[in-house]
């Protein structure tokens, strides 16, 4: 990814204008690069969300095209249930306090680690993958399952978002990992924050924060849905125009009209995404 001409620095949230997040939560986000344990859905609602995700996973895994539990990447333009989560007011209220009132959701991705899943997510900065400037994007990580220390929780490196862009090494997608880059120098870093959440809770983290997760060696699934939001002022570097096509306006949206605004889809059509592949799957399209 080309860093030339990009604004790759952390832009702190405004404590004074926050409405939903407490001042302490905003200060934590600014200092640590993340805030966690935020309640969104109650137990009954979380159970309903899990049921929906279970059905979506089943439809994808049963398809005859080798998609796997990491393949549900930006399906919200064709799946009404995902679109509804993208626009959920209790979630977008949190986004407002971090990014401001003019925002878009440009992507979603389900990370479902099944029991004894052998894939790690290497420690990385999202900004290395994403062709944006300035780096005013936050990820809402929605716990679909209860996440504890035993079933491969997301791990953060507190404060790493203040270091600017960090060099990454390219990795082979050999079936042991999801994502093809790992931040260099991780062996010398100490300190991890484990993102343990009850199903229905969320965390928010900066696109510059180092984060990753181990393989799930437990008997419990660990599924989390990432919702990617950007301030409407964010722009794309040359050659990446397609990244704005899946966007959905939230809150006050994008008055400039730069970002697309996908309408709510009519029902569930995950099969429409079968031909869209990235390097998130950890396997090739023709893998058996």
Taking the CB of residue 47, how many other CB atoms lie within 10 A of it? Answer: 13
Domain assignment of residue 10, yes or no:
no
pLDDT of residue 144: 98
Domain assignment of residue 65, yes or no? yes
Q: Does residue 16 belong to any structural domain of this protein? A: no
> Does residue 280 belong to any structural domain of this protein?
no
Asked whether residue 85 is domain-assigned, the answer is: yes
CB-CB contact of 243 with 139 (8 Å): no
pLDDT in tens, the chain (288 residues): 667 789 999 999 999 999 999 999 999 999 999 999 999 999 999 999 999 999 999 999 988 877 888 889 999 999 999 999 999 999 999 999 999 999 999 999 999 999 999 899 999 999 988 999 999 999 999 999 999 999 999 999 999 999 999 999 998 888 888 888 899 999 898 899 999 999 999 999 999 999 999 999 999 999 999 999 999 999 999 999 999 999 999 999 999 999 999 999 999 999 888 766 444 444 443 333
Residue 35 lies in a domain: yes
Q: Is residue 262 part of a domain?
A: yes
Task: Please tell me the total count of domains within the chain.
Answer: 1
What's the distance, CA 249 to chain centroid?
17
Instruction: Supply the pLDDT for residue 206.
Output: 98
Residue 116 domain-assigned? yes
Specify whether the CB–CB gap between 124 and 182 falls below 8 A.
yes
Tokens 């679109």 belong to which residue? 83
Q: 74 Cβ partners below 8 Å, 6+ apart?
A: 107, 108, 109, 246, 273, 276
* DSSP H helical ranges for 69-207: 80-86, 89-99, 126-129
214: domain CATH number? 2.60.120.620
Q: How far apart are CA 68 and CA 113, in angstroms?
A: 10
Burial of 146: CB neighbours in 10 Å, binned 0-12, 13-18, 19+? middle
Domain containing residue 112: 22-273
């Amino acid at each position: 990814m080309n860093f030339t001409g990009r604004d790759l620095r952390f832009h702190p949230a405004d404590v004074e204008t926050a409405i939903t997040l407490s001042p302490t939560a905003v200060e934590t986000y600014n200092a640590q690069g993340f805030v966690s344990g935020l309640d969104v859905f109650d137990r009954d609602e979380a159970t309903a969300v899990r049921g929906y995700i279970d059905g979506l996973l089943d439809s994808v895994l049963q398809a005859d095209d080798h998609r796997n539990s990491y393949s549900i990447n930006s399906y919200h333009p064709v799946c009404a249930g995902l679109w509804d989560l993208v626009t959920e007011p209790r979630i977008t209220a949190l986004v407002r306090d971090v990014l401001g009132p003019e925002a878009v959701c440009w992507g979603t991705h389900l990370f479902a680690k099944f029991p004894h899943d052998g894939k790690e997510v290497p420690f990385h900065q999202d900004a290395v993958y994403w062709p944006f400037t300035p780096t005013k994007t936050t990820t809402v990580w929605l716990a679909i399952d209860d996440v504890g220390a035993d079933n491969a929780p997301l791990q953060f490196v507190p404060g790493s978002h203040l270091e600017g862009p960090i060099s990454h090494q390219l990795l082979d997608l050999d079936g042991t990992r999801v994502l093809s880059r790992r931040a260099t120098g991780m062996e010398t870093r100490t300190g991890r924050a484990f993102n343990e959440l009850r199903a229905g809770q969320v965390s928010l983290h900066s696109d510059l924060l180092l984060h990753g997760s181990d393989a799930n060696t437990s008997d419990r699934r660990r599924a989390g849905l990432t919702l990617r939001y950007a301030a409407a002022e964010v722009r794309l570097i040359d050659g990446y125009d397609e990244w704005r096509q899946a966007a959905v306006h939230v809150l006050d949206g994008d008055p400039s009209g730069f970002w697309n605004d996908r309408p709510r889809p009519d029902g569930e059509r995950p099969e429409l995404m079968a031909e869209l592949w990235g390097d998130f799957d950890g396997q090739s399209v023709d893998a058996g």
